[in-house]
Amino acid sequence: MDSDIDRAPVTEALTWPDRANALAIRSAETYGAAAELLKAIKALRQKIADTFGPHVKRAFDAHRALVAEQRSAEEPLTLAERTIKDKLGAYDQAQERIRRDEQARLEALARQQAEERQLADALAAEAAGDTVEAEAIINEAPAPVVVQVEKAVPKVAGISYRTTYSARVTDKHALIAFVAANPQFENLIDPNMPALNGQARSLKMAMQIPGVVVDEKRDIAAGAGR
């Protein structure tokens, strides 16, 4: 901390909590005295602001300049990193599409082969005179076919992918209707508090919105006085 800061206002401020705790307001006179103390606190806060303000601004300006210099130094690296990541991601997505297409092709082929075997078995049973067995084979549900195809992307130490998912509302009214019919999902719709608070400030106690009440709170502001 700068050694040329005037510590007197800081030392004086330390005495104020005890003065406030010792204060008892029991009459109009003591109420007025307490109000004067509030104005004295405001004046002392201004003195502290005047004392520390220039030092805070100087430190803030220096910090902002260093941050800007660091950001400028990193900008080429940030750009290069983003470019390489985009290219790696594009290649990975392309290989994923190829993998899915190949998996779908192999699964379709496997299903076709399974159906052909099933039909051949049914025909063999029918040729042997066992029509019941043949019908059972035909009606038998085919076994699920799962083919695993690896993606042709090499694993590189230190490089990993993180998949994230996010929701996007395409029909606000449909969402509201869903929540209205399923109250257990009411957390999906949060009140727009900035807008509601704006209505309360504008209309005050006259605001009438179902499910919303206006809270009134009175704060005390101390001016410099005369």
Q: What is the pLDDT of residues 112-129, one digit of tens each?
A: 998 999 999 989 988 998
pLDDT attached to residue 225:
62
pLDDT attached to residue 226:
55
Q: Return the closest-CA partner of residue 6 out of 47, 46, 40.
A: 47
Place of tokens 């009438």: 208
Residues 202-217: what's their mean pLDDT? 91
Q: How confident is the model at residue 159 (pLDDT cuts 50, 70, 90)?
A: confident
Backbone angles phi, psi at 106, to 5 degrees: -70, -35
Token couple for 116 = 């052909």
pLDDT attached to residue 47:
94
Task: Name the residue type at position 210.
Answer: P
Mean pLDDT over all residues of the chain?
90
Residue 30 pLDDT exceeds 70 = yes
The 3-state DSSP class for residue 212 equals strand
pTM of this prediction exceeds 0.85: no
The 3-state DSSP class for residue 85 equals helix
212 pairs with which residues across the strands?
209
CA dist 115 and 138 (Å) reads 9
Residue 204 pLDDT exceeds 70 = yes
Residues 4-29: what's their mean pLDDT? 92
Q: How confident is the model at residue 46 (pLDDT cuts 50, 70, 90)?
A: very high
pLDDT attached to residue 22:
92
Residues 137-149: what's their mean pLDDT? 85
Domain boundaries, the chain: 8-152, 168-210
Q: Say how many C-beta atoms besides its own lie within 10 A of residue 136's C-beta.
A: 12
The percentage of residues in the chain with a pLDDT greater than 90, rounded to a whole number, is 67
DSSP-derived letter for residue 158 is T
CA dist 173 and 176 (Å) reads 5
Q: Which residues contact 178 (CB under 8 A, 6 or more apart)?
A: 185
CA dist 226 and 222 (Å) reads 12
Residue 219 pLDDT exceeds 60 = yes
209 pairs with which residues across the strands?
212
Residues 217-226: what's their mean pLDDT? 75
CA 191 to chain centre: 16
Q: Return the closest-CA partner of residue 6 out of 62, 44, 32.
A: 44
Q: How confident is the model at residue 1 (pLDDT cuts 50, 70, 90)?
A: low
CA dist 42 and 224 (Å) reads 7
